[in-house]
Amino acid sequence: MPAETFEFQVEARQLLQLMIHSVYSNKDVFLRELVSNASDALDKLRLEALRDDSLGADTSDLHIEIETDPEARTLTVRDNGIGMSYDEVGRLIGTIANSGTAEFLRELREAKEKEAGGETDGTEGLIGQFGVGFYSGFMVADEMTVVTRRAGESQGTRWSSRGEGTYSLEKVDEAPQGTAVTLHLKPADPEDQLHDYTSPYTIREIVKRYSDFITWPIRMAGEKTPGDGEGDDGAEPAPETLNSMKALWARPRDEVSEDEYHELYKHIGHDWRPPLETIRFQAEGTFEYQALLFLPEHAPHDLFTRGYRHGLQLYVKRVLIMDDCEALLPSFLRFVKGVVDAQDLSLNVSREILQQDRHIRMIQRRLTKKVLSSLKDMKNREPERFATFWREFGTAVKEGLVTDPDSRDAILAVTTLASTHGEEPTTLHEYVERMRDGQDAIYYMTGESRQSIESSPHMEALRARDIEVLLLTDPVDEVWVDTVGEFEGRKLRSVAKGEVEAVPDEKGEEEREKQGEEYADLLGWMKERLSEEVKDVRLSSRLTTSPACVVSDTDDLSPALENMYRAMGQ
């Protein structure tokens, strides 16, 4: 079959343009990306071979190999992992499926707009730290070739592209299992020896810096190392392993640098930014395990979609046995990334069994506690960092108020909410401390935005009496306020439901009674005319300037919840 030519998807083209014309300093990260993909491919093969012994794949010496050719100016990163089928190459390499990449492009566009408006000093900082996968190879190469064969299949595929909008695909007969990515490097800059990617020295440095923790050996094909003092005896040196392969979570704490943690996070979190927080601990005793957890700085855009993949990896004695292990953390903490390494677990447990496993449930409880207590610490010590976290993940964490009664108190301790008290969000505890004498409930109102809530007629009476109201704008708020019900002995009461007895005032009561008699006829008439629309018509003390408003009974759904259910078609 002859080679066929295909077009890149639009987003992929934009990204390629960015890579090809990139003038940014930190191009080294392309190697981290290719090594990271190779490592993922080895993980996938090992897991698949474990599940399916008819796969017929060779798993005896799984490794990554880097080969440089200064004459031809090529660099090849090779793995004997899972490989890709013909269809997969087109689907995985020709398009941008990775959510992180799409998000990166969006952020980049926003940064560019700000740059044009003179608001920031530009996109350099953003690009300097990114790594957008496979395509980043085009920062240093003017052509990339992939030869791959999926484990268990007999035919291979050759992909190649100059990054200019199209790529070609053809089937090949001879291909080793796994994937080889070859970069045809752009002309060398004689001024810039440090970034000569055909130099073993450069490669060794980059692998050490970004990929040392990778659990598979990263070997460099035998090549003489300049200046290592061995002299030129003409012998072929043996392949050299470049990475230490040491699991960061198993090394003594003070020996691991922050950068090393960050690189591990980028690898498992498929993120190009460092994490917001690193949490490390270990459990000793009858069931030993180590955990290294990361809180990302940004919420992925698919956090609230059904297929969202949890980011925790489960290892047993340094061997990865499950990716996206959802049993390790409750769903409201699904954004946490990291590694749990247990000593005593079977190597071939299934997801279903894990959900039932007593030890796993113990780990889950412990990790949940640990994450929530770290959040509390962060809130106390670094309120600004916590505010960033809460803005990104608060909505997810609040789900736990409904789904996870054991964590309720710990979540309430860090839940911060907008309030009429001021611009800064408040905790429930702070609200209670500010409550006025005689006020018996915590008042809240739900709605679409702070503004729409604040301009609601329901707010008038409370404003007139100077009573603080929590302004809740997340759909999940509707649900947890009902489930939680009260806090520190105070009921949570909606301003939009029933009577507001915020602070009773005697004189008002008397007057209203008198007015009630006075207006009895009018009210009776209105009630009759509106009998289809409303249950009752009452004189109210809640309004100060609006003539009338619609309120629900205390047990009825609030207007926002009614809308939410209606939107869900119920």
**Which partner in ligand ADP, Mg ion, none is near 263 (CB below 5 to 8 A by kind)?**
none
| Residues in binding contact with ligand ADP, number by CB under 6 A | 16
- Binding span for ligand ADP by CB under 6 A among 81-89, 236-244, 351-359, 453-461: 81-89
**Shortest spacing between CB 84 and ligand ADP, in angstroms:** 5
Show contacts with ligand ADP in window 14-33 (CB under 6 A).
Answer: 33
- Angle of CA points 95, 101, 107, to nearest 5°: 135
- CA-nearest of 86, 90, 68, 82 to 176 is 82
Burial 356-392 (b: 16+ CB within 10 A, else e): ebeebeebbeebbebbbebbeebbeeeeeebbebbeb
What would the two tokens of residue 532 be? 């289809």
Which of 93, 472 has the CB closer to ligand ADP? 93
Which of 133, 200 has the CB closer to Mg ion? 133
Which of 73, 266 has the CB closer to Mg ion? 266
Q: Which of 16, 31, 35, 41 binds ligand ADP (CB under 6 A)?
A: 41
Which of 8, 480 has the CB closer to Mg ion? 8
| Using rule CB under 6 A, residue 37 touches ligand ADP | yes
Strand partners, 293: 279, 338
| Using rule CB under 6 A, residue 84 touches ligand ADP | yes
**Shortest spacing between CB 499 and ligand ADP, in angstroms:** 55
CA distances from 498 to 101, 290, 458, 507, 554 (A): 49, 52, 11, 21, 5
HSE on the CB side for 90, CA within 13 Å? Answer: 11
| Using rule CB under 6 A, residue 79 touches ligand ADP | yes
Which of 97, 530 has the CB closer to ligand ADP? 97
Show contacts with ligand ADP in window 87-116 (CB under 6 A).
Answer: 92-93, 98
Closest CB to Mg ion: residue number: 133
CA distances from 272 to 129, 267, 347 (A): 6, 9, 31
Which of 115, 324 has the CB closer to Mg ion? 324
Strands ordered across the beta sheet of 289-295: 277-283, 289-295, 337-342, 311-316, 319-322
User: Which residue matches tokens 């200046």?
Assistant: 227
Residue numbers of the site for Mg ion (CB under 5 A)? 37, 133
- Binding span for ligand ADP by CB under 6 A among 4-12, 78-86, 321-329, 422-430: 78-86
CA distances from 566 to 353, 482, 557 (A): 38, 19, 11
> How are beta strands 141-149 and 4-7 bridged, if at all?
unpaired
| Using rule CB under 6 A, residue 270 touches ligand ADP | yes
- CA-nearest of 363, 372, 374 to 401 is 372
| Using rule CB under 6 A, residue 179 touches ligand ADP | yes
Which of 42, 445 has the CB closer to ligand ADP? 42
- CA-nearest of 181, 158, 191, 136 to 41 is 181
Show contacts with ligand ADP in window 449-508 (CB under 6 A).
Answer: none
**Shortest spacing between CB 133 and ligand ADP, in angstroms:** 2
Strands ordered across the beta sheet of 441-446: 422-426, 417-419, 470-472, 441-446, 490-494, 486-487
d(CA 262, CA 265): 5
- Cβ atoms of residues 42 and 81 within 8 Å: yes
- Binding span for ligand ADP by CB under 6 A among 77-85, 392-400, 488-496, 541-549: 77-85
**Shortest spacing between CB 35 and ligand ADP, in angstroms:** 9
**Shortest spacing between CB 323 and ligand ADP, in angstroms:** 12
Which of 133, 338 has the CB closer to Mg ion? 133
